Amino acid sequence: MSNKSEKLVSLLAGQPVIPVLRIADAKQAVPLARALARGGLKAIEITLRTPDALEAIRRVAGEVEESVVGAGTILDPAQYDAAAQAGSRFIVSPGITKELLKASADSDIPFLPGAITPGEIMAARQVGLTFLKFFPAEQAGGAAFLKALASPIADVKFCPTGGVSATNAAGYLGLPNVICVGGSWVAPDDLVVNGEWSRIEDLARAAAELRKPA
């Protein structure tokens, strides 16, 4: 595994579920991150799908010592740089492009790009990226597809995201080429909007107990 992929794995190690968060109001970011951390989910991905996303990352990075905040839905180098400057510890993209690979090469912030086809996965592997996001996981073939990749591309590991839920996460985590999964079920929009942090903490605790088989 490459140095950058190893760095990313070390950030996410031991956490079976990475919360994928859409934060509409930056004021919600700090209490949300703290609730997830109390439940055992310290590494979180805040997606750049709202105008407040960068400010949310900035606040968590600056105020929640126990959290490891990353940025998701990064589509171009400008977003990569903005997320890094906001304090992101890792960068996640739904796909992989030459421009994003160059931004990653020029940055110390580790990159988790999305890949679903054998060709995309092999292209990422050739440039030293051996820990990838598998997105959209359920729509792209799910756990059965990932299981089929485990033998021919054995040295590449994945974080499946997209359609992953409390009901099917264990099926992914049981695969030898899956390190963790990404999911939004631990912080549903309605609970975030209503500030129901204790309920989110409970969901996080249940997710943190989903362990890979020994």
What's the pLDDT at 23?
97
Tally of domains within the chain: 1
Q: How far apart are the first and last CA of the chain?
A: 21
User: Is 132's pLDDT higher than 80?
Assistant: yes
- Which residue out of 42, 133, 157, 201 is catalytically annotated? 133
Coil, helix or strand at residue 112: strand
d(CA 49, CA 199): 24
In a domain? residue 105: yes
- The tens digit of pLDDT for each residue in 97-130 reads 999 999 999 999 999 999 999 999 999 999 999 9
Partnered with residue 17 across adjacent β-strands are: 181
211 part of a folded domain: no
Model pLDDT for residues 48-102, shown as the tens digit of each residue = 999 999 999 999 999 999 999 999 999 999 999 999 999 999 999 999 999 999 9
Residue 192 lies in a domain: yes
pLDDT of residue 133: 98
Q: Which contacts of 6-9 are long-range, i.e. CB under 8 A and separated by 24 or more positions?
A: 7/110, 8/90, 8/110, 8/111, 8/112, 8/131, 9/131, 9/157, 9/179
Catalytic residue flag (residue 120) = no
* Whether the Cβ atoms of residue 179 and residue 144 lie closer than 8 Å to each other: no
Grade residue 214 by pLDDT with cuts at 50, 70 and 90: low
CATH code for the domain of 118: 3.20.20.70
148-167: pLDDT as tens digits = 999 999 999 999 999 999 99
- Tens digit of pLDDT for each residue in 4-59? 788 898 888 789 999 999 999 999 999 999 999 999 999 999 999 999 999 999 99
Does an H or E element contain 132, and which? strand 131-134
Which residue among the candidates 6, 27, 42, 45 is catalytic per the annotation?
Answer: 45
pLDDT attached to residue 5: 84
Contact indicator for 15, 41 with CB cutoff of 8 Å:
yes
In this structure, is residue 213 part of a structural domain?
Answer: no
> Is residue 212 one of the residues assigned to a domain?
no
> Strand 181-183 vs strand 157-160: parallel, antiparallel, or unpaired?
unpaired
Q: Is 100 among the domain residues?
A: yes
Structural domain range at position 176: 3-206
The one-letter amino acid code at 79 reads Q
Q: Residue 90 falls within a domain, yes or no?
A: yes
Q: Does 133 qualify as catalytic in the annotation?
A: yes
Residue 158 lies in a domain: yes
